[in-house]
Amino acid sequence: MSKRTRTSKVEKWIKEGRGSGVGVDYKPWLNIQDVSSKGRSKRLKDIKTNRQHEFLSDLERNYFYLTEYSDCVVSIREQFPLLPLEETIVIADELGLKHPTDPKTNEPVVMTTDFLLTVDKSEGLAEIARTLKMKDELLKERVIEKFESYRISL
């Protein structure tokens, strides 16, 4: 009898279409039920596409309100994955940083940015990534290290 091959969570989520699409067709990489949250998670529909958005904190929700009512923001993608995973692992290694891992399995996890905005500028469309942290979090060395990885990954 052959053993059943297990598909990693990353492969499964990619097959589900997570982290792909634009506008109404976008599916966030992370959903509220996928992670524990220190803040208050929230689901809201936007006024431009009527898509349900997944926010893991009040800070994310509040930033969404700012972007939602901006005339130049065409598309809002939250919990956007930095893929391929192998690339962020190499970047972290080159920077001498530990890539984030799942504490239970010790496997590398896909890093995400809180928002990837598509903005209509006078010279055309541009994508802008935004990661949000409360002021106290910005004083932590590990948070700064992850920001450096994000900057290079994007």
Domain residue spans of the chain = 9-153
pTM of the full structure: 0.84
Is the pLDDT at 109 greater than 70, yes or no? Answer: yes
Dump pLDDT digits (tens) for 49-92. 899 999 999 999 999 999 999 999 999 999 999 999 999 999 98
Q: CB–CB of 117/73 below 8 Å?
A: yes
Query: Domain 9-153 class?
Result: alpha beta
